[in-house]
Amino acid sequence: MNVFSKYFIVLLLIAMASCTSDFLTVTPKDVLTDANFFVTAADAESALIGAYGQLQEESTFGNVVDAANLDWTMSGDLYEQDQNTPRVELEMLSLPANNLYIEQMYTGLYRGVARANFVISRTGKMTGIDAAEQALIVAQAKFLRAIYYYKLVTYFGGVSLVVDELNASSKLDIPRSPAADVWKLIISDLQEAAGVLPVNWSNANDLGRATKGVALAYLAKCYLWQENWAEAVKASETIISSNAYELLPDFRSVFLETNENNREMVFSTQYASVSNGIEGNQLDVRSAPRGAAPEFIGRGANSNFVPQTAWIDAFEKGLDGKIKDQRYWGVIIGPGEHHQEMTDFVMPLTFPNSYTKTGYIVTKYWQKASVVASGLNAPIVRYAEVLLNYAEALNETNRSQEAMEQVNKIRARAGLDPKPLQLSKAATLDAIFYERRMEFVWEPAGAFSDLNRRNRFMDFIKANRADYNKIDVGSKPWLNQRPILLPIPLGAWNVNKSLTQNPGYPAF
């Protein structure tokens, strides 16, 4: 159990500075206020836990709204089993400004920014605190602010740039800043964080906190977006040379709740399986087949997101026609196949539609039957992504053979034959994106965001989505933009009339 699951998240004491008056000079001793809270390092740590806590929402870093609803459903490799209206809008790339999930993500990310700003501002002004401890708290908050903004800029482009703590007297009509300015802040925050954060935390209770490695991993991701290939290579090589991470030999073991915070997990959202559910998640319920027996699904099952057959068909097969790729056998089950841990559960050969309309279930997050919220951590950055990001940057600096060496490391773990090292630059990039697709199902990497970053998304869905003609690309001008951006939510504009809409969408 780590520090984030031991404490109730301290929130919103801190949301606004309190009003004061000259004749109110008594400092209360029995309640927390902004005047008496940021006194000790423990106070700053409590506020920092609140900033970490925002990662846990499904709308931010819980691998539901982003990884499932957006990335993997929009690319078409996961099917939205429920087919509720907001999910169908994403699936069909309709993307209205009032889409529920887009607005939830936008709002949740800004809550994260606000909490991080609060920690940075208040902790930076503290006196009587050990300087190294103070710097470490601020570095973690800057890392968190950076990754909240990373999602905002990659999904929405230029957004309102807020770097100071807001209070009741603050001007809240904040125009959008150019994307370049947002990237500048993100990179600055990550560089500062990487210069302070440890390679590893020595105390087991600190597992799950940001490290130098994940700050560098996000820097590499930023540089890929900006096509700054040389800096992406440099950041990746620093991570690799730290020897802090490795590919685990067994693919499924990477995700097991009994093996959390392992050497492949560069960063993951921390959860705990507790009866009150506050520190847990619903990833197991969203994965497990609806209608299966209670001894396998515990408190329930929704099978919200199931693999599309086009993705299943993309797995490499042996001469016997059987899927050879161990990544399939690690996190998927299909007709007639048994669950990896609960071996008594076998997917029916004739499967009920309530289980899955495609015949397949993702078991990455469904590992046992539980009557309380899942404590399984949600993967955010894995070492496998570090290697593929490195490969992409190497390829763009005309080091394609070295890039393919990284790709073949991923393939070797999957039990696949190596691909030739002497591929063209274009073929090497195709090989990298194939491994992304097969490696990261229902994780933040590997689908819409990565494809969109390299302007490969529209070609990908045309080649791989069976329902491509139903999408009616010609009627959706936002899909002509490069990169494709999500709409600024209508709810955000309702409270900030300075916002303008992204190109291709109807103006506010």
Which tens digit of pLDDT belongs to each residue from 256-276? Answer: 999 999 999 999 999 998 766
Q: Over 80: is that where the pLDDT of 433 sits? A: yes
Q: Please tell me the predicted confidence (pLDDT) of residue 13.
A: 39
Q: Given the DSSP bridges, would you call strands 78-80 and 305-307 parallel, antiparallel or unpaired?
A: antiparallel
Look up the CATH number of the domain holding residue 114: 1.25.40.890
The angle that helices 131-156 and 100-124 make with each other, rounded to 10 degrees, is 160
Work out the pLDDT band at 166, boundaries 50, 70, 90: confident
Q: Across all residues in the chain, what is the average pLDDT?
A: 93
Residue 467 lies in a domain: no
Residue 325 lies in a domain: no
Q: How far apart are CA 65 and CA 281, in angstroms?
A: 13
Q: Over 60: is that where the pLDDT of 4 sits? A: no
Work out the pLDDT band at 404, boundaries 50, 70, 90: very high
| Cβ atoms 400, 423 nearer than 8 A | yes
Q: Please tell me the predicted confidence (pLDDT) of residue 33.
A: 55
Which tens digit of pLDDT belongs to each residue from 236-245? Answer: 999 999 999 9
Q: Please tell me the predicted confidence (pLDDT) of residue 171.
A: 84
Q: Please tell me the predicted confidence (pLDDT) of residue 10.
A: 39
The position carrying tokens 């699936």 is 91
The position carrying tokens 């409270």 is 495
Q: How far apart are CA 85 and CA 11, in angstroms?
A: 33
Which tens digit of pLDDT belongs to each residue from 60-118? Answer: 999 999 999 999 999 999 999 989 999 999 999 999 999 999 999 999 999 999 999 99
Q: Please tell me the predicted confidence (pLDDT) of residue 138.
A: 98
Nearest one of 474, 441, 63, 40 to 286, comparing CA atoms:
63
| Cβ atoms 332, 361 nearer than 8 A | yes
Work out the pLDDT band at 53, boundaries 50, 70, 90: very high
Q: How far apart are CA 391 and CA 401, in angstroms?
A: 9
Residue 67 lies in a domain: yes
What pTM, to 2 d.p., does this model score?
Answer: 0.94
Could you tell me how far CA 38 lies from the centroid of its own chain?
A: 30
Stretch 311-316: mean pLDDT? 98
Residue 132 lies in a domain: yes
Q: Please tell me the predicted confidence (pLDDT) of residue 8.
A: 34
Q: Please tell me the predicted confidence (pLDDT) of residue 277.
A: 65
Stretch 8-18: mean pLDDT? 36
Nearest one of 474, 429, 492, 494 to 456, comparing CA atoms:
429
Residue 378 lies in a domain: no
Work out the pLDDT band at 507, boundaries 50, 70, 90: very high
DSSP per position, 404-469: HHHHHHHHHHTT-PPPPS---HHHHHHHHHHHHHHH-TTSSSSSHHHHHHTT-HHHHHHHH-TTHH
What residues make up the domain containing 506?
Answer: 33-197+473-508
Q: Over 60: is that where the pLDDT of 163 sits? A: yes
The lowest-confidence range among 15-24, 87-96, 113-122, 224-233 is 15-24
And the tokens for 313?
Answer: 């068909």
Structurally, the chain folds into a number of domains equal to 1
Share of the chain above pLDDT 90, in %: 89
Nearest one of 86, 54, 55, 61 to 304, comparing CA atoms:
86
The lowest-confidence range among 5-9, 402-406, 502-506 is 5-9
Q: Please tell me the predicted confidence (pLDDT) of residue 456.
A: 98
Work out the pLDDT band at 37, boundaries 50, 70, 90: confident
Q: Over 50: is that where the pLDDT of 16 sits? A: no
Which tens digit of pLDDT belongs to each residue from 140-156? Answer: 999 999 999 999 999 99
Residue 504 lies in a domain: yes
Residue 441 lies in a domain: no
Residue 97 lies in a domain: yes
